[in-house]
Copies of this chain bind each other. A is one copy, B any other.
Amino acid sequence: MIDSGLGGLTLVRAIHRALPAEQIISFADTARLPYGSRTPETIIGFARQIARFIRQFDPKHVLIACNTISSVALDSLRGEFPDLSISGVIEPTARAAVEAAGARAQPLLAILATEATIRSKAYERALARRRSKATLLLRPAPLLVPIIEEGREASDPLVRLALRQYVHPLMARKIDVLILGCTHYGVYKNAIAQMVGGGVVVIDASQRCADDVTRRLRSARKLKEGGVGHLRSFVTDDPGRYRILAEKMVGLTIDEPTHVPIDALPDAEPMRVRAAG
């Protein structure tokens, strides 16, 4: 599982529950987060470095547990690593949103996401493939990731104000479904659901992504049945801080992550060196 920071852990938690026998490796690029306000070229460059690092573990599946990387870099990663099975979070999330919209003739779906995810139009494409008649409202929420990575809880007045600023304009439009288009936002799912009220279905991808990975592993006959799985975490910066925030923000108790300095990541374009004669 690849992510920029804490957000992917909301998926780690769901997948670990769904597949308790599997070994999970999570990678969080905490030295370079947040990804969501960066250009596609930068995000793709970072993601390629991480995928090269992850490949050494010979994973049976790689989940891009981050909407920004999934939106922008999934095709590049699949192109560069044809030997790896790779999936993202956009498709399962879009599927869940369409189901939640149900039989409404012209549902109004809103997406709260990073700037990079919104600019990529990945959600428009994924939803249009499933449902031609639906209206989409896109709302970038660039500050939520830094707020979550600072460790602020949902009860903090600044968190409430930021959520109100981002969510109220959507509520004024009488939306039917609100997609949390960034895995980080799952941390504030309850506060957001309370804010929008019972008439709006709030979609957070974690359960759907766990189901999707389960289905992929089963159809590839790679599902592990017995044994006890273990979670191993890698971060590019401060392992202690990551462990503490994982517990505080996601409620996940993890072992101390392994630190991988940025300059220890394989270059995206490896230098070819001829053997010295």
Contacts and interface: CB of A to CB of B under 8 A. Distances in A.
Contact of A162 (B142, B158, B274): B158
Interface string A188-227: 0000000000000000000000000000000000000000
B237 A42 contact: yes
A261 interface: yes
Given A146-B143, A158-B161, A276-B276, A31 B38 contact: yes
A261 B39 CA distance: 11
A39 B162 contact: no
Given A142-B150, A276-B275, A45 B238 contact: no
Nearest to A48: B263
Interface string A231-254: 000001110000000000000000
Given A146-B143, A158-B158, A237-B42, A267 B263 contact: yes
Contacts of A146: 34, 142-143, 146
Interface residues of A, number: 37
A260 to B, nearest CB: 11
Interface in A64-81: none
A261 B161 contact: no
A137 interface: no
A263 B268 contact: yes
Interface in A1-56: 30-32, 34, 37-39, 41-42, 45-46
Contact of A149 (B37, B41, B263, B275): B37
A147 interface: yes
A165 interface: yes
A261 B143 CA distance: 24
Contact of A150 (B30, B41, B143, B149): B143
B276 A238 contact: no
Interface string A258-277: 00011100011101011111
A261 B38 contact: no
A31 B42 contact: yes
A134 B41 CA distance: 49
Closest 3 CB pairs of A and B: A277-B277, A146-B146, A274-B276
Given A161-B161, A263-B267, 14 more contacts: A34-B146, A38-B238, A41-B261, A42-B237, A42-B261, A46-B262, A143-B146, A143-B150, A157-B165, A158-B158, A158-B162, A263-B268, A271-B271, A275-B276
